[in-house]
Amino acid sequence: MSLYAEVTPGGLIVDLVVWDGVSTYNVSPNSLVLATGQNAVIGGTYIGGVWTPPTVTPTQTDIVFTASPTAGSTVALPNAPAQFGRLIAYLTPAALLATLTLQMPSSPNNGDELIIVSSKTITTITYTPAVANAAITIALGGAIRMTYSSVLGLWIPW
């Protein structure tokens, strides 16, 4: 598995993906360019074999957090890296989980986004502190998204 940049026909880098380089992965009309060891950055360009970083620093930063929880366990989610940050929590339980508690980030910033993805079904999710109207079940390959509002002092599910 290697890092590839998804590049538009005009040369803009729109995504970075880990791909085996062999299996079918259609990004048409874009293309995938091997980016390992290169300066491939989303928002930058790849034109004529030259990698150029973006001229404007992105305002949103991502952090990917992984955990392999077991039934009945608690997963403490870290804080996003900066204001308007995005935390992608990728859960990889060994099997279907009947119950899981998610300890929400302790110091969220206004506008932080949380995306929870699971490789297996989780039947009942409990949030600490509680998140009103949040999904309590996540299906295999499903996702739960929410944004933090400092004005309201709570996470708002999408």
Domains of the chain: 2-52 (no CATH), 62-157 (2.60.120)
CA 75 – CA 39 distance, rounded (Å): 34
For the chain, 158 residues long, give each residue's pLDDT as a single digit of tens: 688 888 999 888 888 888 888 888 888 889 999 986 667 777 788 998 888 876 654 455 677 888 999 999 999 999 877 666 788 888 989 999 999 999 999 999 888 889 898 888 999 999 999 998 899 999 876 789 899 988 889 999 98
Under DSSP, the state recorded for 12 is: B
Q: What angle do CA 142, 134, 78 make, to 5 degrees?
A: 80
Predicted pLDDT of residue 69:
95
**In this structure, what token pair is assigned to residue 22?**
């062999």
At 61 the pLDDT is 66
